Amino acid sequence: MKNRELSKIFYEISEFLEVDGVPFKPYAYQKAALSLENLKDDVFDIYKKGGSKALQEISGVGENIANHIEEYLKTGKIKIYDQYKKRLPLKIDELTRVEGLGPKKIKILYQKLGIKNLKDLERAIKTHKIAPLFGFGEKTEQNILQGIEFQKQNKGRFLLGQILPVAEDILENLKKLKEVEKISIAGSLRRKKETIGDVDILVVSKNPQKVMDYFASLPSVKKIWAKGKTKTSVHTKDDFDIDLRVVPEKSYGSALQYFTGSKDHNIVTRKIAIEKGLKLSEYGLFRGLKMIAGKTEEEVYNALGLPYIEPELRENEGEIEAGLNKKLPTVIELKDIKGDLHCHSNWDGGENSIEEMANEAIKRGYEYIGISDHTKFLRIENGLDEKKLLKQSEEIKKLNSKFKIQNSGFRILHGCETNILNNGEVDIKNEVLEKLDYVIAGIHSNLKMPKSEMTKRLISAMKNPNIDIISHPTGRLIDRREEYQLDFDKILEVAKQTKTILEINSAPERLDLRDLYIRRAKEVGIKMIINTDSHQANQLDLMKYGVFQARRGWAEKEDIINTNSVEGIKKYFK
């Protein structure tokens, strides 16, 4: 889809404008980029149906940006974007991703030292050229170096949320070919790891050559690394690699099992096969020359004396032992989710009204939605104060009585996302918090506190009798920012004592709690909630990423409170 390509370009234009010091425009381009990123319909279809006028219906898109979109759809180019790239030949997305490096510093580094990309930057630091620059210093130099190191650790990996939609598009496209009898994603993408290196796709076909040819000719393919009879590797326009393999139907299960991995998981399954006098490979499970399983994964696992193991569990983290002892968890599924309690409305600058958010939740089959706007400390997010919160309560009451009249069981719950201040208190008075259905608290400032202070800060928030949920509890941004320094075991202990719910935030760059923490929390007996943190209605669809993460953390339906109906979930609130 062109949506993603355009969104990426508009983000970059926004960054160029910032480097240039242009006021306000960057914000406009960012908004348009965000809208396109989350747009359900193909922007090309919108344009075909309604032309430029229809494009301007997209939120954040006006006359000018609509013209840019039109230009791109017609010519594949956007003039001002190309001009910027010529004038400032920077790997701008690469540089802005370094923590501590913003547009102003990037501009100075380019003008004074000709730094265009990460490589240049690293070389300049190693030769101590940065610290002497005006406005820079020793500390800044070190901070930038740390930012680079952190980025390098995750080099070449993509967020699950970036890559899954693209891979699914390609899968849909391949399905159109009648020679494709069966098809599945394999590899780490099927295991739903939070970051993905490259994409593996497995196909059953009697005519592999036809599949190879079609795959290699897809419009999203930029470069073909290798193209053989049953395997083709390509590099896509979205800058990741895809390996496609074609196998015969009788080997589909064993091949899927093999290519899904993980490698460690497979080593153990092959060992079990050997112990039973069998041999397991991507071609099947064999006793001597006789194939005894291979058509389905289930068949393969069962023949090894194991139940089917969900892909998200296949990390050799105890799932084999649990399988042998019949102790595998029945992991949660998306359809178990009955509502989303971390959603922002246009009251705090989100995209949609409360009613629109509610209607979108209804569309997704939910029984309830929770509105939890930012509170007053976060001025940039138009945080609500006590007065506005009470006013918001009135609106929610009205909407709820409307649902009642319509005889709909749907309910809006009223919460807020308060800010945990340095001393562990939150920025809304208790007498107002008491009146809400539930209260979320999160850390949004002073993220670099020392471990003991940060732990104390979070603990005192959990002890607040009005706080029910801690949002994004560790504050990490995948590939970009480390977690806060926290004594996590202590946090778990207090969460258990105070019956505080920990959030699994579904935003693909957060996925916070991470899988290992989810598993630890479950073991301790702490309840969790999967929320999207939506700032616009389309983001409600991010719920699946939180569910994937919960599954990777072995969470079952009972561990997650928003699998309950309205009355059920209320019991978990203090």
Residues that bind DNA (CB under 7 A): 23-29, 31-32, 56, 59-66, 96, 99-106, 131, 134-141, 143, 349, 378-380, 382, 422, 444-448, 477, 481
Biggest alpha carbon–alpha carbon distance for the chain? 77
For residue 110, CA distances in Å to 10, 81, 136 come to 21, 18, 14
User: Checking DSSP bridges between strand 501-505 and strand 528-531, what pairing results, if any?
Assistant: parallel
DSSP collapsed to 3 states, 160-181: HHHHHHHHHHHHHHHHCCCCCC
In whole angstroms, the minimum distance from the beta carbon of 357 to DNA comes to 16
Residue 67 or 209 with smaller CB distance to DNA: 67
What residues contact 464, with CB distance under 8 A and at least 6 apart? 425, 426, 430, 441
In whole angstroms, the minimum distance from the beta carbon of 474 to DNA comes to 13
In whole angstroms, the minimum distance from the beta carbon of 110 to DNA comes to 12
Residue 18 or 515 with smaller CB distance to DNA: 18
What residues contact 69, with CB distance under 8 A and at least 6 apart? 6, 43, 47, 55, 61
The first and second tokens of residue 533, run together, are 């943190």
In whole angstroms, the minimum distance from the beta carbon of 420 to DNA comes to 11
For residues 549 and 194, the answer to whether their CB atoms sit within 8 Å is yes
Residue 152 or 223 with smaller CB distance to DNA: 152
Residue 64 or 262 with smaller CB distance to DNA: 64
Residue 104 or 206 with smaller CB distance to DNA: 104
Please give the Cα distance from 245 to 202 (Å, whole number).
Answer: 5
Helix (H, G, I), strand (E, B) or coil at 351: coil
In whole angstroms, the minimum distance from the beta carbon of 59 to DNA comes to 5
Give the position of tokens 């290699």. Answer: 216
In whole angstroms, the minimum distance from the beta carbon of 514 to DNA comes to 17
Please give the Cα distance from 257 to 330 (Å, whole number).
Answer: 19
Residue 19 or 203 with smaller CB distance to DNA: 19
Closest CA to 357 of 390, 391, 399: 399
In whole angstroms, the minimum distance from the beta carbon of 386 to DNA comes to 17
Closest CA to 536 of 53, 7, 36, 63: 36
Please give the Cα distance from 262 to 457 (Å, whole number).
Answer: 38
Encoded amino acid at 326, one letter: K
In whole angstroms, the minimum distance from the beta carbon of 343 to DNA comes to 17
Residue 102 or 165 with smaller CB distance to DNA: 102
Encoded amino acid at 192, one letter: K
Residue 65 or 337 with smaller CB distance to DNA: 65
Residue 62 or 305 with smaller CB distance to DNA: 62
Helix (H, G, I), strand (E, B) or coil at 85: helix
For residues 512 and 475, the answer to whether their CB atoms sit within 8 Å is yes
Number of other residues whose CB lies within 10 A of the CB of residue 51: 12
Residue 12 or 299 with smaller CB distance to DNA: 12
Q: Length of the chain, please?
A: 574
In whole angstroms, the minimum distance from the beta carbon of 201 to DNA comes to 34
In whole angstroms, the minimum distance from the beta carbon of 149 to DNA comes to 15
